[in-house]
Amino acid sequence: METSNIKENELIVAEKVARFIVDHGFATPAILFIELNRPLNYVASQGMALFEPFIKAFVVKNDYSEFVNFLEKRDSIDIIIDMIEKYDKEKREEQRALKKAKKK
């Protein structure tokens, strides 16, 4: 996937968000939500920028700004979905391995 216009810091924050989604068991609903709202990607990022001063009181300051910048990019939706799917697959494989280990 082409990520030339996306900065490394933005990718790191996107990975954190993807891992958070997968760790809390929301991979499938999150992918569905993201896909359904794909046309509103840029508008949503601007909405997040509008509420940034209020949200920064509760969230790590740089991470929020980086994630807003990430969402402004055209490729961001495909990238975050790929990350969620990748981490979800890894988590499922870990769970299968644990089940096999328990059976033995």
Domain boundaries, the chain: 8-103
What is the model's pLDDT at position 1?
A: 47
Q: Is the CB of residue 39 less than 8 Å from the CB of residue 69?
A: no
* Model pTM score: 0.84
pLDDT tens for 71-88 read 999 889 999 999 999 999
Q: Is the pLDDT of residue 4 over 70?
A: no
* Tokens coding 52: 């940034």
pLDDT tens for 5-15 read 889 999 999 99
Contacts of 46 by beta carbon, 8 Å cutoff, 6+ apart:
72
Q: How far apart are CA 25 and CA 95, in angstroms?
A: 13
Q: Is the pLDDT of residue 2 over 70?
A: no
